[in-house]
Structures are given as structure tokens and as C-alpha cells.
Amino acid sequence: MLKNVEFVDKLRSSGLRPTKQRLKICEVLFNRDKTFHFTINDLAKNISEKLNEKISLATVYNTVHAFKAKGYLKEISINSDRSYFDTNTKIHHHFFDEDTNELIDCDDDDIEKINVKKNITGKKINSVEVLIKVASDNQNQK
């Protein structure tokens, strides 16, 4: 459980002013045990519910993008109709539950190291990430 002061420092050290709104967003995003996967809408709703306060949607967008640019958040593509963000910014793999649309982080040792045998000339590999789609194990899968 991080303190406000720590968020202030964190923001300041990355050149972002520690404003009321940003601190609240930090609270919601980073005061958690588990990784948080969310869409901007989820986040905005979460803020107004948890903190009983409304932050303009535009500000939520701005802040999330600022945090992404600073490397505090990572954007994830699962389906194209919505952007997901992840508080876990390391390169890592995901399970995606097609029944619930829920995204679940993999631990490093859930998946054996991936061996890429092909190279693209002049290009270097920046990331290798796996997406495992799962659904309920019975006849009527989606």
C-alpha cells in the first residue's frame, strides 16, 4: 500500500506535476496487490465509485497516456473494439477468457521459453508475447 507521498515523488521524478487528479488515478491504479487490467471506461467508473468523485474523461485519457509514455502502464491488444491497459509493464504473457472477456497475467514460468528461429533482416526483436485464449470446457463454446 503506497502512500500519497510516494506517488508525489514518483510523478515529480518523471516530470509530471502531482495534481489532485493524477494522485487519485495513481491510488486507483497502483494501490493493489494484483495487476489491474482495465479500459479507460472501467477506470473512469472505478474512480467515480471508489473515490466518489468524478474526473473528466478527457483527463483520464490524458493521464493514462502520460503514464503509458512514462512506462507506468502498458497497452494491450486483445480485441479491437476497446483498448486495454495493464499495470504490469514487463514483457509477459496473458490468458484471455473468452467467456468473461477477462485478461489474466501469466507468471514467467507458466510458459516455457519461446524459441524464435527466424530473423527479419535489419530488424531486432523488441518483444515476444503469447496470448492464450481459453473458454469454458463444454460443448457450447462461443
Partner DNA sequence: TCAACAGTTTAGAATAGTTATAATGTAGTT
Partner DNA sequence: AACTACATTATAACTATTCTAAACTGTTGA
Binding site for its own copies (CB under 8 A): 75, 77-84, 95, 97-99, 104, 106-107, 109-112, 114-118, 120, 122-137, 141
The site partner of 15 among its own copies, DNA, none (C-beta below 5 to 8 Å per kind) is: DNA
For 3-39, letters b (16+ CB in 10 Å) and e give eeeebeebbeeeebebeebbebbbbbbbeeeeebbbe
Q: In angstroms, rounded to a whole number, what is the distance separating the alpha carbons of residues 74 and 93?
A: 13
Taking the least distance from each CB to its own copies, the nearer of 58 and 116 is 116
Question: Could you tell me which of 123, 130, 10 has the C-alpha nearest to residue 66?
Answer: 10
Where does this chain bind DNA (CB under 7 A)? Answer: 12, 15-22, 39-41, 54-59, 61-63, 65, 80-83
Q: In angstroms, rounded to a whole number, what is the distance separating the alpha carbons of residues 63 and 51?
A: 17
Q: In angstroms, rounded to a whole number, what is the distance separating the alpha carbons of residues 142 and 139?
A: 9
Least distance between its own copies and beta carbon 93 (Å): 9
Q: In angstroms, rounded to a whole number, what is the distance separating the alpha carbons of residues 78 and 95?
A: 10
Least distance between its own copies and beta carbon 142 (Å): 9
The site partner of 137 among its own copies, DNA, none (C-beta below 5 to 8 Å per kind) is: its own copies
Least distance between DNA and beta carbon 52 (Å): 14
Taking the least distance from each CB to DNA, the nearer of 31 and 83 is 83
